Amino acid sequence: MSLPTLDGSLHRGCGGRYASHTEQVTVRLSGMATDVVRTLCRCEKCGHEQRTIDQREEAEKAAAMQIRAVHGLLAPREIRQLRESLGLTVAQLADLCYGTPKGIVEGWEKGRYLQNREADALLRSLTDPAELQRRAARVGVTLPVPAEATAPQAAAASVPDPVPDPVPAAHAAG
Ligand SMILES: [Zn+2]
């Protein structure tokens, strides 16, 4: 890995040098927890510790992966595929998920956020057409018309509108 590190850098406070260490930390995400090994730098002279943002993010990413594996949660890629297969926009999927903010759903798809178990179960339930229809009706999301259903409609639309019956002259006059 090419993460920037403070390894070997000077601790101005005491004149000592930082060296890389690892520590086991418990990371909690979306109500689930897991232990990961995180890298930190510790001053060898005074024991001062520093953790870079990259080191924190790396640990969070590792935690998300472990939690996903343990709880069998959908991967970011799978969530995007599921949404695209249903022809939904991110905003629509967000509405279907109890009005979850759109940015959160985007975060699920990018792996920036981890969906909790309830949200994961809900996402999976949307692959059932009946459940999808029910939920869409409840939250007011207009579902895209499936490809196989558009064909007959398109054919019907090409039939010219019936010409309205002319008003009989007799009635118009009387
Ligand atoms: Zn120091």
For residue range 136-171, list pLDDT tens digits in order.
999 999 998 865 555 554 444 555 555 666 555 555
Output the CA 62–ligand 1 centroid distance in Å. 29
Q: What are the Cα distances from residue 164, in Å, to 73, 160, 167? A: 58, 12, 9
DSSP string, 52-111: -HHHHHHHHHHHHHHHHHHHTPPPHHHHHHHHHHTT--HHHHHHHTTT--HHHHHHHHHT
Output the CA 22–ligand 1 centroid distance in Å. 18
Q: Do domains 18-71 and 76-141 have the same CATH topology?
A: no
Output the CA 118–ligand 1 centroid distance in Å. 46
Output the CA 92–ligand 1 centroid distance in Å. 52
**Residue 15 DSSP one-character state:** T
d(C-alpha 39, C-alpha 19), whole Å: 10
Output the CA 82–ligand 1 centroid distance in Å. 51
Output the CA 23–ligand 1 centroid distance in Å. 18
User: In this predicted structure, which of 104-113, 129-138, 141-150 has the lowest mean pLDDT?
Assistant: 141-150
Output the CA 12–ligand 1 centroid distance in Å. 7
The confidence score (pLDDT) of residue 2 equals: 44
Q: Tokens 């959908």 — which residue?
A: 74
Q: Are 110 and 76 in contact (CB under 8 A)?
A: yes
- The predicted-structure confidence for 41-89, as pLDDT tens digits, reads as follows 999 999 999 998 988 888 988 999 999 999 999 999 999 999 999 999 9
d(C-alpha 84, C-alpha 31), whole Å: 27
User: Hey, what amino acid is at 37?
Assistant: V
Instruction: Among 1.10.3230, 3.30.1890, 3.10.20, 3.30.70, name the CATH number for the domain at 18-71.
Output: 3.10.20
Output the CA 43–ligand 1 centroid distance in Å. 5
pLDDT at 32 over 50: yes
Output the CA 18–ligand 1 centroid distance in Å. 8
Going by C-beta distance under 8 Å and a sequence separation of 6 or more, which residues neighbour residue 84?
Answer: none
- The predicted-structure confidence for 77-94, as pLDDT tens digits, reads as follows 999 999 999 999 999 999
Q: Are 17 and 43 in contact (CB under 8 A)?
A: yes
CATH code of domain 76-141: 1.10.260
List the chain domain ranges.
Answer: 18-71, 76-141
